[in-house]
Chains A and B, each alone.
Chain A
Amino acid sequence: MSKPKITVIIDPDIYKDTPRPSSDKKDTSKPSSGKSGMTLIVKTVTRITVWMIILYGFYIILHGHLTPGGGFGGGVIIALALLNVLLAYGRDFTQKWLNIHLLENIESLSALLFVIVGILGLFVSGSFLANFLSKGQLFAVVSAGTIPLLNIIIGFKVAMSLFLVVWVLAGIKMSKGDAA
């Protein structure tokens, strides 16, 4: 996967700010050696660690009813992992890597899902947001009824909304530099 990177290391053009004309003809599926973003070291470390950080965020979310953490903390961790990619690789690469419209839809959908879980509790158990699922065994990962479900929903909500607001801020910053 990192075979084309070897040529990039000895390429002196990566330190220039001007876009290379030959970069379009190269492998466009991984445009990580482009002009935007930080140096190669930062990009490599980011590529290795971003999935670990996202995995840790999911761990925090899924164990929110057993250990400290939960949807809020795990959501912020996932948002920070995506923000790491945005800072290291720049806005153009992130737009290709992530489907921003999908993230916006997840963000809006999670607010709706929270209400749907609440209304299901109203129908099944008689009160809004009632814990209508089985409580299960204490200290088991799958337990506590709707609490892990709502934790996952809140985690996605927090992660997507916090990442998207930084995304919009980053875009504004660039157009502003041209204007000023």
Chain B
Amino acid sequence: MPVETWLTFTLGFMILGSIVALELKDILSSIIAIGIVGLGVSMSFLFLQAPDLAIVQFLFEIFALIILVRAFIGKENHQLESSSTNKVMTGVGIVAAAAIFFLSIPVFRLLPPFGEPLMQVSQHYLDAGAAETGAANLVASVILDYRAYDTLGEVTVLFTAILGAFAILRSTATHKTAGGDHE
């Protein structure tokens, strides 16, 4: 069976799962339903010959699930109410998404077809990567040798995001307990 059929099936399943996750009332079911999408992405990475990404995506899914459940489950005062503005925005959202989808179909015809990528720079990485960097994993050689500057930017972004979370939450802690927990 060609990989495209598998991917069509998995993507349809993921779209279904994401719609279910957005429309469910219960927030725990919603967070678990989003796991369908994440694990579907992980499985698609395996089909698309990217084992590094499958591992990292799988771990990402577990970690995001733990963070969301840890932060949001257990609050009984979480309720969802429907009002007129909500219905109006739902209609606007569906119409806008459908319009964008149908108007952008001609754009996708211009892209290279599935399975035939434009490999101009990457062909050099594949041909000379092992000799130039000494790494058998060519993805690692791209991340940490050819494009290590990108990774430095990633480290900086991660540092800033975590620092932002610290700044937001630590100030709350000092505010609440007047410096009791803060050290």
Contact = CB atoms under 8 A, between A and B. Distances in A.
Nearest to A77: B59
B152 interface: yes
B156 interface: yes
B152 A67 contact: no
Majority SS at the chain A contact face? helix
B151 A154 contact: yes
A150 B52 contact: no
A10 to B, nearest CB: 31
Interface residues of B, number: 46
Interface stretch (B12-20, B91-99, B120-128, B133-141): B133-141
Interface stretch (A12-20, A24-32, A37-45, A164-172): A164-172
Nearest to A110: B155
B144 A73 contact: no
B52 A70 contact: yes
A144 B162 contact: no
Contact of A162 (B51, B63, B141, B145): B63
A171 B144 contact: no
Contacts of B56: 72-73, 76
B138 to A, nearest CB: 10
B136 A65 contact: yes
A147 B140 contact: yes
B173 interface: yes
A21 interface: no
B165 A165 contact: yes
A85 interface: no
Interface residues of A, number: 56
A64 B136 CA distance: 9
Given A129-B148, A168-B169, A175 B176 contact: yes
Interface in B50-87: 51-52, 54-56, 59-60, 62-63, 66-67, 70-71, 74-75, 77
B63 A146 contact: no
A129 B151 CA distance: 10
Interface string A104-134: 0001101100110010000000001101000
A169 B166 CA distance: 9
Contacts of B136: 65-66, 138-139
Interface of A: 60, 64-70, 72-73, 76-77, 79-80, 83, 87, 107-108, 110-111, 114-115, 118, 128-129, 131, 135-139, 143-147, 150-151, 154, 157-158, 161-162, 164-166, 168-173, 175, 177, 179-180
7 closest residue pairs by CB, A with B: A135-B134, A68-B51, A144-B134, A65-B135, A144-B135, A129-B148, A76-B59
20 contacts: A65-B135, A65-B137, A65-B140, A65-B144, A67-B137, A68-B54, A83-B63, A83-B66, A87-B70, A111-B155, A118-B148, A128-B149, A138-B134, A138-B136, A150-B151, A157-B158, A162-B63, A169-B71, A171-B173, A172-B169
